[in-house]
Amino acid sequence: EAQVTQNPRYLITVTGKKLTVTCSQNMNHEYMSWYRQDPGLGLRQIYYSMNVEVTDKGDVPEGYKVSRKEKRNFPLILESPSPNQTSLYFCASGDRGFTEAFFGQGTRLTVV
Amino acid sequence: QKEVEQNSGPLSVPEGAIASLNCTYSDRVSQSFFWYRQYSGKSPELIMSIYSNGDKEDGRFTAQLNKASQYVSLLIRDSQPSDSATYLCAVNMGGGYNKLIFGAGTRLAVHP
pLDDT tens, residue by residue, A32-81: 999 999 988 889 999 999 889 999 998 899 999 999 999 999 999 999 99
Assess B40–A contact: CB distance below 8 Å, yes or no: no
Q: What is the pLDDT of residue B101?
A: 86
Assess B2–A contact: CB distance below 8 Å, yes or no: no
Of the candidates A16, A8, A29, A1, which has an alpha carbon nearest to the alpha carbon of residue A89?
A: A8
The segments of chain B whose pLDDT lies below 50 read: none
- Percent over 70 (pLDDT), chain A: 98
Q: Write a three-state SS string for chain A.
A: CCCEEEECCEEEECCCCCEEEEEEECCCCCEEEEEEEECCCEEEEEEEEEECCEEEECCCCCCCEECCCCCCECCEEECCCCHHHCEEEEEEEECCCCCCCEECCCEEEEEC
CB contact set of A106 (below 8 Å; sequence gap of 6+)? A6, A9, A37, A88, A89, A90, B41, B42, B43
What is the C-alpha separation between B83 and B61, in angstroms, rounded? 11
CB contact set of A47 (below 8 Å; sequence gap of 6+)? A33, A34, A55, A56, A57, A58, A61, A64, A66, A76
Q: What is the pLDDT of residue B92?
A: 85
Assess B43–A contact: CB distance below 8 Å, yes or no: yes
Nearest residue of A to residue B43 by CA position?
A105
Tell me the one-letter amino acid at B39: Y
Q: What is the sign, positive or negative, of the torsion defined by CA atoms of B52, B55, B61, B63?
A: positive
Q: Which chain A residues are closer than 8 Å to B105 by Cβ?
A: 42
Beta bridge partners of B35: B48, B89
Q: Which chain B residues are closer than 8 Å to A97 by Cβ?
A: 32, 92, 94, 98
- Percent over 90 (pLDDT), chain A: 81
Q: Which chain B residues are closer than 8 Å to A58 by Cβ?
A: 99
Question: Between residues A42 and A93, which one has the greater pLDDT?
Answer: A93
What is the C-alpha separation between A23 and B70, in angstroms, rounded? 34
Task: Measure CB to CB from residue A40 to each of B8, B41, B94 and give the nearest one.
Answer: B8
Q: What is the pLDDT of residue B97?
A: 58
Tell me the one-letter amino acid at A104: G
Q: What is the pLDDT of residue B2?
A: 63
Assess A61–B contact: CB distance below 8 Å, yes or no: no
Assess A87–B contact: CB distance below 8 Å, yes or no: no
